[in-house]
Structure 1
């Protein structure tokens, strides 16, 4: 009898934030504006780093990769939300939902790994400046990014396959604006124990590894900086880390708020926190780095002047 009550779900309904048309219009405007600014801001950073030979250093190499990932990360969720609003449909196919979730996990974790490589780069620059060029060779930088891509893709594939094997009942309404793993697990008729265990074990390792690297790197940086003889030297050293620390705080603060609890307790508050790292963090990253970075601002100024001539 239980099997007869189950149907094969071929699509999901993404409810988003509200069913009221006036509020939907507000969210549509906010998402559209945020997405366009995300594209423009991150593309400007990539263009500045690519066009200026003085910015062809490990730090800016990682920053260009972070901007690229932020564009992809935002593009995984926001355009589908905007299209659904325009066409008046909230549906997404089962295959489309699994694909969206796969890339959401990949790019979301890639953000964390890139932030950890940037923290390591700052550690070497501040704590071992005489060996910086020897340690942060182009080959090592490329290897760090390549290994991060492999790990995050394998991680996303594991959790996508674990979700695909589950059975979904007639209820296909997702209380979110994209296919997030947690609200999808709440819809399943199957036992999600393995999924939850994988999220807290393997997923925990994938999350804590870059986070631990960031914490250890900055612990070493602060320990080294506090031994500097002058206050000016301390300010100069910390100024190179300010932008990165701001981005790390925004990203990991939101992620911890959403995913550091069982999937069964996912709520509307978690959806609001998800907006912070899926929409707002990719938007704020380029502005945080450009406003606090003289090299980026100088490079963009040169590009603008060159285009006017």
Structure 2
């Protein structure tokens, strides 16, 4: 306790998942693999959308920013987690902890509103195709995106300031693998009921309002899809909607479980496991769910692959000619 009290004002200790050395190595390898796949997948989506003119539409505009948010999301949490798997003293400074919570909450909230914007885009494209190009203008898309980021920043400021203005005098040991709201509230020595209610209300509003908007949009989409006579077209549309809803269910369901379930049944150990879904797994799965099942993205990937192979072939032939093997010239 002496050490905790002396150093409390400047740092916290993240307890993470386990203290066993063999499990630490296993977790490090697993999280590193997930992080690499997340970066490659989401960067690949962003690059494909930028280089392929066929993907310069509102849907892929929002998708590129969803990928950017997933990269920021993962980069806020996983590098610190990887470091903690390798060091004995899993310390994070007070300022870095506050910054981690701020950027994590910003990305999480912004992603909710970007997902809602994507659902509205699909609603307009399928239910009102004649008005789609008029309604989904560049101005509206940029405005919706700017509103999403603004909502994320404002919500995150309230979230972070509310929690870090509390006194932490009982312990500096955070029973989690990153600085999240519930485990920080658990180590505060003052009454946290008001702050918990405020954070739950804010998170609940962001998540529930966007969830209702998404569900209403997709119900309208499904109603339109049911009127499609072509079975192949209907199956394709149902498959796309199902993939989106699976991702949304994982992301929103785990977030609601951590932030909105009653305090009397609050289990930080269970929260750590559930948190890996929306903070680690979903950013890795989104490129697969939103891109690899999409025909336009597959075509863009094939074209990009063809360009790369053509470029490598030209470079290889030029390199071979410089070495003189083989040389096809005129005799004599």
Distance in 2, Cα, partners of 1:287 & 1:230: 26
Q: 1:216/1:275 Cα in 2 relative to 1: closer, same or farther (>3 Å)?
A: same
RMSD over aligned Cα atoms: 1.8
**Which aligned pairs between 1:1-309 and structure 2 lie closer than 5 A?**
8-262=8-262, 265-308=266-309, 309=311
* Structure 1 position 263, deviation (Å): 5.1
Moved more, 62-71 or 216-225: 216-225
Moved more, 281-290 or 61-70: 281-290
Q: 1:154/1:282 Cα in 2 relative to 1: closer, same or farther (>3 Å)?
A: same
Q: 1:23/1:225 Cα in 2 relative to 1: closer, same or farther (>3 Å)?
A: same
Distance in 2, Cα, partners of 1:32 & 1:59: 30
* Structure 1 position 132, deviation (Å): 0.7
Distance in 1, Cα, partners of 2:275 & 2:237: 32
* Structure 1 position 38, deviation (Å): 0.3
Unpaired stretches in structure 1, ≥5 consecutive residues: none
Residues 168 and 187, structure 2, Cα contact 8 Å, conserved in 1? yes
Residues 124 and 132, structure 1, Cα contact 8 Å, conserved in 2? yes
Residues 182 and 266, structure 1, Cα contact 8 Å, conserved in 2? no
* Structure 1 position 299, deviation (Å): 1.2
Residues 119 and 217, structure 1, Cα contact 8 Å, conserved in 2? yes
Residues 170 and 188, structure 2, Cα contact 8 Å, conserved in 1? no
Residues 35 and 284, structure 2, Cα contact 8 Å, conserved in 1? yes
More contact order relative to length (CA 8 Å, sep ≥ 6): 1
* Structure 1 position 249, deviation (Å): 2.0
Q: For residues 11-48 of structure 1, what are the alpha-carbon distances to aligned partners after superposition, in whole Å with 9 as ceiling and x for unaligned?
A: 11101100111111111111000001100000000000
3-state SS of paired residue (1:106): helix
Moved more, 18-27 or 82-91: 82-91
* Structure 1 position 198, deviation (Å): 0.8
Q: How many residues align?
A: 305
3-state SS of paired residue (1:178): coil
* Structure 1 position 114, deviation (Å): 1.1
- Using the size of structure 2 for normalisation, the TM-score is 0.87
Distance in 2, Cα, partners of 1:111 & 1:151: 10
Residues 97 and 179, structure 1, Cα contact 8 Å, conserved in 2? yes
Distance in 2, Cα, partners of 1:263 & 1:294: 45
Distance in 1, Cα, partners of 2:44 & 2:59: 16
